[in-house]
Amino acid sequence: MLKNFKESDCSRFYELILFSLVVLFFILVLRNKFDDHLKFKIFLRNFNSPIINQSRNLNLLNVILNHCPSIFGTKSKFFPTLWLFSGHLQTIYSAFGDFSKIDEIDYQRKLIKLPDGGQLALDLTPPDRFSTFNDSTPVLIVLHGLTGGSHESYVRSVLSPLINRLGWRAVVANFRGCAGSKLTSQILYNAGATEDLRVAIRFLKQTVCPQTPLHAIGFSLGANVLAKYLGEVGEDCPISSAVVVGNPWDLYAGHCFLESNWIKRIYSRALASNLRSMFSQHLNIFKTPSGPIDLHALISNPSQSLYEFDSIVTRVLGNYPSTEAYYKSQSSIRFAGNIRIPLLSINALDDPIVTIDAVPIESVLENPYLVILISSHGGHLGWFEGLWKPTRMISRPILEWFQAMDLVLEPHLKTTSSFDMKEEPIETLSTTIIKSQGLKHPPGNQIAGL
């Protein structure tokens, strides 16, 4: 009986091993089959690559090949979390996931006065690293998404390793009225308003880091602002290198994309709801007899689309002749050809908010400074990997890019560009210490981005 039992048990054991080997074989076959599908697609000009270090005769292509394996190399792959297998799930998790206990960051907030009576909240981190006037440690300028701020998880996922591993410093330029800042004038930010970014750069060069290499990153709407600024200043750019993540590039194409079916219209209304929630925190500034905004039209329709909000608010405050004119004139794709610093653009094919058709892939043939990275998966500002506690993979290529650029670039240490020749000192209104966890979205403001 014992002998028969052992033989039976042994037979089952071998069957289990055989079954496991078969399963492993099919997993490897499937992985190899979809391996190319999971790789990043990179678009850059592989001829006449610009020399970015004259003394060492280094061009942009060689730097990427030698220093950025997550962009162009063995690690240039993205395996999404199994239960976040679609762009919708990646985007929803980015909006509703609990990231409060990871990448915790303290900031020193400086409120600076703007020429039009408004104010800009600059969040500096680490707080104690901006007291030395002649510190040459690189500084990363960050522009967030639609109604976000320095508290956003996608911002902190980059800043935490940038500060703790690379030893950099960072400044988040919060858009007017965002991240708990007060709106003090009837001027609001939009997807193409670069004036506040210019003031922020000039303030940094005048005060805390005059001899410091500046780099920049923009997310979603902030990506469009940053790319547009880089194209506006062209050769005379005070920033050494930049990254744009989830950039809509063509705002009119993005509008058409968000109105193309009922699912995308849900995103459009969610984004408009974010804007209405943010705007409602500052209604008093617009409650004047000569106020430019039709507040009744804004408040009476809680299911507005993004286009409808832009028609009521953004178009009017920006003095654009039409909403379509706003979208077309402020799209960063119009300025891509004039960018003259290394710029990495990262988008996902399954982004439910930003259409991949707007990404200027053909522009890399005309502009050798532009590098475009596209993944099959990732959603909008997602790119989550791992099983039980997903983390953002996208921070790896971003950090590799900035580390490589800082290593080889001859920094742009101009005090200001010829576009920003106003030399009067910028007034600091206040300085406080804040925690990223203390900055919350206004009620109803959930989906950050675009």
Bridge partners of 39, per DSSP, are 77
Kindly write down the DSSP assignment for every residue of 106-141, as one continuous string: EEEEEEEE-TTS-EEEEEEESGGGSS-TT----EEE
Q: Are 125 and 105 in contact (CB under 8 A)?
A: yes
CB 220 within 8 A of CB 247: yes
Residue 350 known to be catalytic:
no
What does the alpha-carbon distance between residue 429 and residue 446 come to, in Å, rounded to a whole number? 30
Catalytic hit among 220, 311, 345, 417: 220
Q: Is 412 a known active-site residue?
A: no
Q: Are the C-beta atoms of 242 and 230 separated by less than 8 Å?
A: yes
Q: How far apart, in whole angstroms, are the C-alpha atoms of residue 150 and residue 193?
A: 19
Which helix (H) or strand (E) segment holds residue 287: the answer is: none
Element (H, E) at 95: helix 87-96
Cα separation, 226 vs 336, in Å, equals 11
CB 379 within 8 A of CB 90: yes
- Please state, as a whole number, how many other Cβ atoms lie within 10 Å of the Cβ of residue 34: 12
220 flagged as catalytic: yes
Helices (H) and strands (E) in the chain, counts: 15, 14
Catalytic-role residue among 144, 151, 377, 380: 380
Write down the catalytic residue from 123, 350, 351, 406.
351
What are the two backbone dihedrals, phi and then psi, of residue 96, each rounded to the nearest 5 degrees?
A: -115, -5
Pick from 25, 16, 72: nearest CA to 44: 72
| Catalytic annotation, residues | 220, 351, 380
